Structure 1
Amino acid sequence: MRFHERVDEKSRMLPWYVNEFISKKRRTLSPATLLNYCHDYIIFFDWLLAEGYFNGDRTDIPLELLNGLTVQQIEDFLTFLQFRLDNSPLTVNRKLSALKALFHYLQNIAETNDLQPYLDRNVMAKVELNQVKEDQEAIAQKMSGKILWDQEYEQFREFVAQGYGDLYKENKRRYHFHLQNRERDTAIISLILGSGLRLSEIVGLDVDDLDLKKFSARVIRKGNKEQYVFFSEQALLDLQDYLAVRKARYKLTDQIKALFVSSPMGPKGTTRRMTPRAIEKMVEKYAAEFGKPALSVHKLRHSFATRYHAENNDVPKLRRQLGHSSIQTTMIYTHLTNDELKRAVDNMDGYPSKQTESE
């Protein structure tokens, strides 16, 4: 199912004015962002129901209720996110930002037939985001132990392609499931490691989005921007291996355009586009057996970016490749590859680092 179809499905589970907001934002926000908004809004409106602020269905929650919410009630909701749902301060900020966008629309943009705003009062404007005081250096250091380095890129790819199957040759179910999907799984891993694409961009790819002659893929980036992103030669080879078996292996008709599809399931043996969670679980499975359980889809993207910067030292090009709106986000990878600082600290006490001794 394409992202926009999932957005339609989720938005129908929300009040009419939220549905209207989602519809208005389709021109400026990516389907992946809108889907995240819908999930965040469902959590918020379900919390209102659980707290007894409205007796009825989620879709029937009136604008009047939002108009009368207090700052303390919103603070209670944020506390619920952090301590009951175990959301990090950054995740709480993201959910609060989604609500701020909705309430801003209801007060300052939407209007009734009488030219009156939907809301007279915007409580979200009175609530501040969490102050997250991690600098880029701290973020980089946290990330460094959770990504692939040096020979691990190819080692992990080889493990997905062959090593995992060798590990479970005695387990017929796991072994045959790996044989069924290893070309697909290797192509996904190789494409992320060879391009730095986001999870939503990988999920949204159709076969027709690939240009194998130009080593590029057409993707819809954040902000609903279309862009052609290059991938590596190894990714090309793994994609070709997967495409050679894709149609027959997954029993596909010409009408199914999704690049990465699930194994045939159910009595009819139907297939569908892989979901974001399916790809996440696939990566988690291989990462755990490979010995790097912290590795995730996003960490594979970080791995690509770190390697790209180390080999090319071109932040503007890396920014474009990753689709970052701000160059400050891309600058994190300059900290991940800053070995000079470590050598300087090592030398302070008269103990040169191993790298210095070998130079």
Structure 2
Amino acid sequence: MPWFVTEFIDNKKRKLSPTTLLNYCHDYIIFFDWLVTENFTTAKRKDIDLATLEILTIREIENFLSCLNQRSIEKLIEKYATAFEKPALTVHSLRHSFATRYHLENNDVPRLKNQLGHSSIQTTMIYTHLTDEEMRKAVNNMDK
């Protein structure tokens, strides 16, 4: 990684979880590989200088973001699922896990509906199923 990325990660170590930091690193790698592929630089990924980033225009950044279409994201998930020996991991399973976790943490169905981009609350209700632990707590609360 270039020095400025390493410095950013080092400064965030105590403030962010290891998973979040790993996600930042993956994002940087994808972005820097795109810079090389699109000929914004002839440097190798670890040697990209800050000046290369400073001359990028908003349109160029938007072009990078538009490269992240549904299929490219699916391919990234497949790649990492294979690498970490998690063949059942898919975009759909990640979305479902996110939605279930969001609901368990926040219990806010209207906001979850917006997060998932659903037009109908009925679709969002799929993610509001009760876990075994929630059912156990409900039964135990009846005894109080």
Question: CA 1:300/1:328 → structure 2, altered by over 3 Å: closer, same or farther?
Answer: closer
Question: CA 1:300/1:51 → structure 2, altered by over 3 Å: closer, same or farther?
Answer: closer
Amino acid at match of 1:86: S
Aligned partners of 1:47 and 1:78: how far apart in 2? 10
Give the aligned partner of residue 335 of structure 1: 125
What is the DSSP-based 3-state SS (H/G/I as helix, E as strand, rest coil) of the residue aligned with 1:81? coil
Deviations 1:7-55 (A, max 9, x none): xxxxxxx101001101111111111111111111101011111111111
CA-based RMSD of the aligned residues comes to 4.0
The answer as to 2:23 corresponding to 1:18 is no
Shift of 1:72: 1.4
**Does the CA-based 8 Å contact 2:2-2:48 persist in structure 1?**
yes
What is the DSSP-based 3-state SS (H/G/I as helix, E as strand, rest coil) of the residue aligned with 1:64? helix
Gaps of at least 5 residues in structure 1 are 1-13, 89-274, 286-292, 306-314, 320-325, 339-359
What is the DSSP-based 3-state SS (H/G/I as helix, E as strand, rest coil) of the residue aligned with 1:27? coil
Aligned partners of 1:17 and 1:30: how far apart in 2? 20
**Does the CA-based 8 Å contact 2:109-2:125 persist in structure 1?**
no
Amino acid at match of 1:277: F
Amino acid at match of 2:72: D
> What count of residue pairs does the alignment treat as equivalent?
111
Aligned partners of 2:109 and 2:13: how far apart in 1? 25
Match of 1:36 among 9, 23, 48: 23
Q: Structure 2 length normalisation: TM-score?
A: 0.58
Aligned partners of 2:38 and 2:94: how far apart in 1? 36
Amino acid at match of 2:34: W
Question: CA 1:63/1:301 → structure 2, altered by over 3 Å: closer, same or farther?
Answer: closer
Question: CA 1:297/1:22 → structure 2, altered by over 3 Å: closer, same or farther?
Answer: same
**Does the CA-based 8 Å contact 2:99-2:112 persist in structure 1?**
no
Give the aligned partner of residue 69 of structure 1: 56
Deviations 1:276-331 (A, max 9, x none): 832x32xx29xxxxxxx99746646766x6xxxxxxxxx7xx42xxxxxx554796
Question: CA 1:330/1:69 → structure 2, altered by over 3 Å: closer, same or farther?
Answer: same
Mapping 1:123-272, distance limit 5 Å: none
Larger radius of gyration: 1
The answer as to 2:72 corresponding to 1:86 is yes
Gaps of at least 5 residues in structure 2 are 75-81, 114-123, 130-144
Question: CA 1:330/1:48 → structure 2, altered by over 3 Å: closer, same or farther?
Answer: same
Shift of 1:335: 2.9
Hey, which of these two has a bigger chunk of helix by percent? 2
The answer as to 2:84 corresponding to 1:277 is yes
Give the aligned partner of residue 117 of structure 2: none
Aligned partners of 2:62 and 2:43: how far apart in 1? 23
Amino acid at match of 1:44: F
Aligned partners of 1:294 and 1:72: how far apart in 2? 28
Give aligned-pair identity as a percent. 41
Deviations 1:203-236 (A, max 9, x none): xxxxxxxxxxxxxxxxxxxxxxxxxxxxxxxxxx
Deviations 1:320-350 (A, max 9, x none): xxxxxx5547964983359xxxxxxxxxxxx
Give the aligned partner of residue 175 of structure 1: none
Match of 2:41 among 54, 63, 69: 54
Question: CA 1:297/1:79 → structure 2, altered by over 3 Å: closer, same or farther?
Answer: closer
Aligned partners of 2:125 and 2:52: how far apart in 1? 47
Aligned partners of 2:67 and 2:27: how far apart in 1? 13
Aligned partners of 1:72 and 1:331: how far apart in 2? 31
